[in-house]
Amino acid sequence: MSSLAAKPRGLYFEEFQSGLQIVTAGRTITEADIVSFAGLSGDYNQMHVDDAYSKKTAFGQRVAHGLLVTSIVSGLAVQTGVMEGTVIAFREIVEWKFARPVFIGDTIHAVLTVGETKAMRRIGGGSVSIAIDVMNQGGEIVMKGIWVVLMSFRPVE
C-alpha cells in the first residue's frame, strides 16, 4: 500500500513576490483576551485591567496590551495558511509602531504586504520581509511595522 504525504498549504520562498498582499480575517478583542494575557504575561498594568482607573486616563477606558494585539496579529497571519508547513522561523521584528489604542470590542485585521526577499541557500530557504498594517473596524491603522520570516525553498522533485 502506498501513502501520499500531505503537501504543505503554505507558500514557498519562491512564491513570495514583492507587492503580494494578503489580508487576514478579523478578530474582535474581548475582555477575556485582556485578562488571560495579563495572567500569562504578568502585566497587570491598571490601564489594561482596572475599569475604574482606566476611565480616568486619556483613553477613558481599558486598553488592550500592545503585545497581546501583536500576538493576535501573528495568529491571524498564520491562519491565512501562507506559512503553513513552509515557514522555517519567525526571524525578527525590524520595526513596530503602536499607532492607536485597541479597546475591548474593537475588531482588528491585518494587511500583509511582501517587500524584500533574500535567498539563503545554507538554510534551505530565504528571508521574506513583510510590511504589516493592523487596522481596526473603522479602517484606522492601530499598529504597523515590518516582520521578517524565514521560508523554505520549494522542494526539488
What number of other Cβ atoms are within 10 A of residue 10's Cβ? 17
Q: What is the pLDDT of residues 10-68, one digit of tens each?
A: 999 999 999 999 999 999 999 999 999 999 999 999 999 999 999 999 999 999 999 99
Rounded CA separation 43/62 (Å): 13
Domains annotated for the chain, with CATH where assigned, are 13-152 (3.10.129.10)
Rounded CA separation 157/142 (Å): 43
Is residue 11 within 8 Å of residue 151, measured between CB atoms?
Answer: yes
pTM: 0.91
Using only C-alpha atoms, the chain has a radius of gyration, in whole angstroms, of 18
Task: State the pLDDT confidence band at 5, using cuts at 50, 70 and 90.
Answer: low
For residue 52, the Cα-to-chain-centroid distance in whole angstroms is 30
Does residue 72 carry a pLDDT above 90?
Answer: yes
